[in-house]
Amino acid sequence: MTAPALQAFRTGDTPLPDIVILTHKLTRDYDMGGEVVRALQGVSLQIRKNEYVAVMGPSGSGKSTLMNLIGCLDTPTSGEYWLNAQKVSDLDDDALARIRNKEIGFVFQTFNLLPRATALHNVELPLIYAGHGARERRAQAAHALERVGLADRMGHRPNELSGGQRQRVAIARALVNEPSILLADEPTGNLDSTTSGEIMQVFAALHRQGQTIVMVTHEHDIAAHAARVVTLRDGLIATDQRQAA
Amino acid sequence: MPLFEAFRLALQTIRAQKLKSGFSLLGVFIGVASLIAAWSIVNGVNRYMTEKFAQTLYGVNTFQLRRRPMFTPNVPDSVWRAWRRRPRIKFSDAEAVSTALTVPVVTAWQSSENVSVFYGGKEARDIELTTASERYFDIKNLRITIGRPFTAQENRSGVPVAVLGDAVAKRLFVDRTPLERSVRIGGIAYRVIGVVEKQGSVLGFPLDRFVVVPAMSPAQNLVNPPGILDAFLVKARSETEMREAMEVAEGVMRSRHHLRPNQDNNFVLDTSEGIQRFWAGISRILVVVLPGVVIVSLVIGGIVIMNIMLMSVAERTREIGLRKSLGARRRDVLRQFLAESAAIATVGAAFGIVAGIGLTLLINAVSPLPASVSPASVVLGVLMGAGVGVIAGVYPASRAARLDPIAALRQE
């Protein structure tokens, strides 16, 4: 139960090749009607390839802010963020969109599937923005759905699927571009315990296949599935522990 | 995202939200439908005026020597009174002009009056009795479907034979043959020798309610005083030769009426130009008013679409956030919503075109206006529809594109 050794990173360095995520003194301030809220106050975190990390912390601890930064949905106020040895903390909007498309697979608490589209079409979405042709998209999307065990549900719409199945469609969508990291935000928050268990099994299987996973959760038994737990408190890392799977 | 994808997505959205899309495309629909229908009327009447009307009422390359113009819209009373004081056209005038003409022409005499025509117990009322010479049929391009026209010999001798207009034949004889039957015109018995092909109508005026008899036949007394005719018709082979003939005719008539060089003509050499000028005036007004109506409805249509699109952006904030999180760039989102609003407007325009063409056919069927669809109006309709869609979509689409993905994803 020791904290993983950090690369001794200084501004101006480049991260080691097997470090997928490196944040260096990351801060993020919000201007809330004249009052500055310092959501992150200098987070330095390194995540290696094929790690399975749970990010925990009470609400207001800054875990959502960290997720948004790691997911390239937001840019830091100061500090550096390197993704796959590429510095992304100072990229513009379109470049970030491209990174999200290629490197990050999001899984949301509320699934966020398009209600009128079939499972297959939902999974195809990232490939559309990647500019792939229709035939290729369909094949890749079908393959991703097979990976999460939904080969027989491709033509179904979200309202014809159970909660667990919907989340598996969302996972297939996150995987379809073969991203560097799977970023899950409370992936079991809307599911019962049995179904949550199923989803955790899917995550475990993906982890075994070499997928890097970062998961935000406030449930200890869900975090227990991860190999490493990072706890945030007041915008700083409070604990960072490896644990037996 | 390629444009093609954007349009496919747009059509899917429209299909999924039929009612809302239906309302939003109503404005463009009405705009384009009225554009096409109104343009069709102008176009149809235009073609009618230039092609058929001139032929039917005047004949091609034909002028008429008359006391006053045949077609006289909006004439003040004073002009009318002046016209009535003019000398009438005499048989001798026609003969003098005819002799003086140097270019090859076909000529005919013509006088007309409204009468009743009887056969047995049946009466055809309000029939235009035309006393004419034999070439009248050629000049007016009247084809005989049954029987024959009268001959020069019959005309000179004043044989009481009659050629009926289609409506007169139908009224008096229904489906029996009118040939060799005896009809009574002003108490005089006339033998029917022919029936003219159906002419239809011009702007609601029926063209088949006439009967043509030889100019020298007894009925001439019903039409004009002895020796007087309404019009002397001269048909040339070309426009140039017609102008030449008109100059000659003008000279002859001026000298016969003893006009001094500073005096105006007290007769007219009437061509289809006058009526076409009149129509050109009306169509100019339409051309000015029409775009106003169309633009107003398209602007309203655009505003409606913009509102619906703003609503749609608000409703689909989460979807936009999701798409952005999956890698959609600003321009992808912009394109998606622009395509959607353009597609709504284009679909509206397409329905508008169908309705406009339908309306045109309806106008043709139930009103005397000879409407005919102009291909240019269809093209313009589509372009305007799509254009309105794109313009109306710019603001909502740019709002969607600027959305912050985090805030958008958080929205319920």
Closest CA to B392 of B309, B331, B336, B317: B309
Question: Does the beta-carbon distance from A116 to B319 stay under 8 Å?
Answer: no
Tokens 């080691």 map to which residue?
A: A16
| Residues in a beta bridge with B229 | B89
The CA distance from B347 to the nearest CA of chain A, in Å, is 21
Which DSSP helix (H) or strand (E) runs through A64? helix A63-70
Which DSSP helix (H) or strand (E) runs through A229? strand A228-233
Contacts of B336 in chain A (CB under 8 A): none
Question: Does the beta-carbon distance from A94 to B2 stay under 8 Å?
Answer: no
User: Among the residues of B110-176, which ranges form H helices?
Assistant: 136-139, 152-157, 166-173
CB of B230 within 8 A of CB of B110?
Answer: yes
Amino acid at B317: T
Please tell me the number of Cα atoms within 13 Å of B358 on its side-chain side.
Answer: 9
pLDDT score of B203 more than 70: no
Q: Name the token pair of A101.
A: 């498309």
Q: Name the token pair of A148.
A: 């999460």
Q: What pLDDT does residue A72 have?
A: 94
Q: What pLDDT does residue B47 have?
A: 76
Q: Cα(first)–Cα(last) distance of chain B, in Å?
A: 26
pLDDT score of B197 more than 90: yes
pLDDT score of B244 more than 70: yes
CA atoms of A168 and A146, how far apart (whole Å): 10
| Residues in a beta bridge with A185 | A216
Would you place residue A3 in the very low, low, confident or very high pLDDT band (cuts 50, 70, 90)? low
CB of B399 within 8 A of CB of B76?
Answer: no
Across B206-226, b (16+ Cβ under 10 Å) vs e yields: bbbbbbbbbbbbbbbebbbee
What confidence tens digit (pLDDT) does each residue in A86-143 have?
Answer: 999 889 999 999 999 999 999 999 999 998 889 999 999 999 999 898 899 999 999 9
Q: What pLDDT does residue B284 have?
A: 81
CB atoms within 10 A of CB A35: 7
User: Among the residues of B101-238, which ranges form H helices?
Assistant: 136-139, 152-157, 166-173, 220-223
User: Among the residues of B257-367, which ranges form H helices?
Assistant: 273-315, 317-325, 330-366
CA atoms of B360 and B369, how far apart (whole Å): 10
Question: Does the beta-carbon distance from B406 to A68 stay under 8 Å?
Answer: yes
* Structure-derived torsion over alpha carbons of residues B357, B362, B365, B367, reported in degrees to the nearest 10: -110
**Cα A200 off chain centre by:** 14
Q: What pLDDT does residue B38 have?
A: 83
The architecture of the domain spanning A49-72+101-242 is 3-Layer(aba) Sandwich (3.40)
Q: Which of B205-219, B280-294, B300-314, B354-368 has the lowest mean pLDDT?
A: B280-294
Closest CA to B32 of B377, B278, B303, B367: B377
Question: Does the beta-carbon distance from A101 to B326 stay under 8 Å?
Answer: yes
CB atoms within 10 A of CB B247: 11
Mutate to test the interface with A, among B15, B312, B326 (most CBs of A within 10 A): B326
Contacts of A73 in chain B (CB under 8 A): 324-325, 405-406, 409
Q: Which residue of A has its CA nearest to B331?
A: A94
CA atoms of B380 and B35, how far apart (whole Å): 9
Mean pLDDT comparison of B204-213, B265-274, B318-327, highest-scoring range: B318-327
CA atoms of B320 and A157, how far apart (whole Å): 19
Q: What pLDDT does residue A90 have?
A: 84
CA atoms of B104 and B185, how far apart (whole Å): 35
Mutate to test the interface with B, among A68, A92, A100, A173 (most CBs of B within 10 A): A100
B187: Cβ–Cβ under 8 A, 6 or more apart, which residues?
none
CA atoms of A112 and A125, how far apart (whole Å): 12
Please give the residue that has the higher pLDDT: either A229 or B277.
Answer: A229
Q: pTM of the full predicted structure?
A: 0.70
| Residues in a beta bridge with A236 | A233
Mutate to test the interface with A, among B13, B20, B322, B335 (most CBs of A within 10 A): B322
Domains of chain B by residue range: 3-52+277-410, 60-271
ipTM (interface pTM): 0.92
What crossing angle do the helices spanning B375-402 and B26-47 adopt, rounded to 10°? 160
| Residues in a beta bridge with B235 | B62, B106
pLDDT score of B234 more than 90: yes
